[in-house]
Structure 1
Amino acid sequence: MNDLFGTGYSNSYDLLYSDKDYGVECDLIVRAIGEYGLNPTRSILDLGCGTGNHALPLARRGYEVVGIDRSEQMLALARTKARDLNAGKADFNSGDIRSADLGRKFDATLMMFAVLGYQLYNEDVLSALRTARQHIRPGGVLIFDVWYGPAVLNLKPSERAKVIPIPDGQILRFADGNLNISDQICTVNYRLWRIKDDRVITRIEESHQVRYFFPRELDLLLESSGFRRVRTSAFPEFEREPDETTWNALVIAQTA
């Protein structure tokens, strides 16, 4: 397997998730900030920012957004998009969300697209949450999404295939997964084939391990990091509570 979010996967990332409605997700983030965050909120820290698909739309809405990610390939794409889109105040930095220290505070912090779930062990989850707490002003809000344990156990990972047309051919992505129930980890194996002239010209394989969470577990982890959970909703269905059919849940926490 290649390194996680390696060059090949990163270069295909925005194509793979071109059907994901980041605009709607940013609407929910803005709503959550308005209902639970500081007024006014001007600055946002995006931990695990990837290629900037939340940071850049939020910057265009007038927020100052600083992103941190470990993947240099993803950061390079984010910086290129920021220049091309004239995205406003968006800055992207290399770093580990478990230990990053920017030496400043923000009004709100994000960890979107299951970023917290990529922290597999309790010490890693707590370190990431404490990084968020260290960078939030008193009264600020932390917003993140997770794979919701009751739904993961009910629905279970399945085999999936996705076809993405590109100008000179297509990309095929195959995914299959399995659960380690005792460790609360879902492993998803991705295979990407780039097709041109009916031939496979590149093959990329990555195996992603993602932790899933339960509500009281989240409460304990958040409280141990200086937060209190104030809302959990289905994601992106903000008005609905998560249940055993809701793979993704949005969590909003305030500084304790």
Structure 2
Amino acid sequence: MSEQYSALARLYDDLMYDAPYEEWSRYIIELLHREGVEPGAEILEYACGTGNLTLPLAKAGYRITAVDSSEDMLFRAQEKTRKNALKVNYACEDMCRFRLNRPVCGAVCACDGVNYLLAEAELRCFFERTYANLRENGVFLFDISSAYKLRNILGNEFYYDDGEAETCFWQNRFDDRSKTVRMELTIFIHRGGACYERQDETHVQRAWECAEVMRALRDAGFTEIEAYGFLSGDKPAGQEERIQFCAVKRRTVNE
């Protein structure tokens, strides 16, 4: 399984403290409701991370299978699930290859999961696998950090976060040729006294254009595809930092 997030998993929730998870989960539930996917339905969540959106969906009554490639992130998601007395089926798997025994009504992939797919072949494979995991009329909801955000906000920047138990330094480099941002993270974990343990991680994300994503969805078989500005029902603006996609699986005459 992926070693990405092995060190960052313990810091992830602290670094994402200002993410609007409550509003985000309500938005996802509203989109599911619009497509007739109501609480009680089975849904698949890809790249679930530490469960910050998994738990609100489970609390709303959805029956969730949640997938992530990081054992460390899943461990924290499972801890939260137990503390909240909820039931979620977790699996440590590559989302491009994950197969359900039976198709579900909805699939969700939030907070950059698709940005970690670096090649068009990976993107198509993921969308094709999701299409196969959905029932007829099933809905696929996912978002991406926009190309604008990766190039102009994250690209070639330096960040740091100094917490009580850990300190994280984060250096980004954007490469126009590959359309990727490479994030080099150095994390110092306080082990007591003057002792710190250093851990290093590298994350790479692809800047996908909206047109590239929509073409790959159509190639996978999705016919009803919409893109919105984040947490809205409006078309994405030119400097939108996050773009929400909604794709529905409809039966065609050839199926």
TM range (shorter): 0.7 to 0.9
Q: Secondary structure at the match of 2:50?
A: coil
Equivalent of 1:232, from 223, 227, 230?
227
Q: Does 1:249 align with 2:243?
A: yes
**Change in 2 beyond 3 A, CA 1:61/1:40:** closer
**Change in 2 beyond 3 A, CA 1:241/1:113:** same
Aligned to 2:120: 122
User: Post-superposition shift, 1:232?
Assistant: 1.7
**Change in 2 beyond 3 A, CA 1:98/1:238:** same
The answer as to whether partners of 2:32 and 2:38 remain within 8 angstroms in 1 is no
Q: Does 1:204 align with 2:199?
A: yes
- Distance in 2, matches of 1:125 and 1:114, equals 13
Give the alignment of 1:97-246 within 5 angstroms.
97-155=95-153, 157=155, 158-164=157-163, 169-195=164-190, 199=194, 201-228=196-223, 230-235=225-230, 237-246=231-240
User: Post-superposition shift, 1:48?
Assistant: 1.4
**Change in 2 beyond 3 A, CA 1:12/1:33:** same
**Change in 2 beyond 3 A, CA 1:200/1:252:** farther
- Distance in 1, matches of 2:64 and 2:224, equals 23
How many residues align structurally?
A: 247
Q: Secondary structure at the match of 1:101?
A: coil
- Distance in 1, matches of 2:149 and 2:54, equals 28
- Distance in 2, matches of 1:73 and 1:156, equals 25
Give the alignment of 1:6-155 within 5 angstroms.
6=6, 8-35=7-34, 37-40=35-38, 42-87=41-86, 89-155=87-153
Alignment RMSD (CA, Å): 2.2
Cα deviation digits, residues 86-123 of structure 1 (max 9, x gap): 12x31101211111112111111011111111111111
User: Post-superposition shift, 1:243?
Assistant: 2.9
- Distance in 1, matches of 2:109 and 2:247, equals 12
TM-score by length of 2: 0.88
The answer as to whether partners of 2:81 and 2:88 remain within 8 angstroms in 1 is yes
Higher fraction of strand:
1
Q: Secondary structure at the match of 1:213?
A: coil
- Distance in 2, matches of 1:75 and 1:153, equals 30
- Distance in 1, matches of 2:11 and 2:151, equals 29
**Change in 2 beyond 3 A, CA 1:151/1:93:** closer
Matching residue's letter, 2:185: Y
Cα deviation digits, residues 134-154 of structure 1 (max 9, x gap): 111111111111121244334
**Change in 2 beyond 3 A, CA 1:9/1:125:** same
What percent of counterpart residues are identical? Answer: 21
- Distance in 1, matches of 2:76 and 2:192, equals 27
- Distance in 2, matches of 1:13 and 1:154, equals 23
The answer as to whether partners of 1:150 and 1:243 remain within 8 angstroms in 2 is no
Matching residue's letter, 1:59: A
Q: Secondary structure at the match of 2:202?
A: strand
Matching residue's letter, 2:167: L
Cα deviation digits, residues 175-229 of structure 1 (max 9, x gap): 2211122222111122222347784612222111001111211111001111145
- Bigger shift: 120-129 or 14-23? 14-23
Structure 2 gap segments, 5+ residues each: 251-255
Cα deviation digits, residues 33-82 of structure 1 (max 9, x gap): 122x2344612100111222211110011110111112122222222221
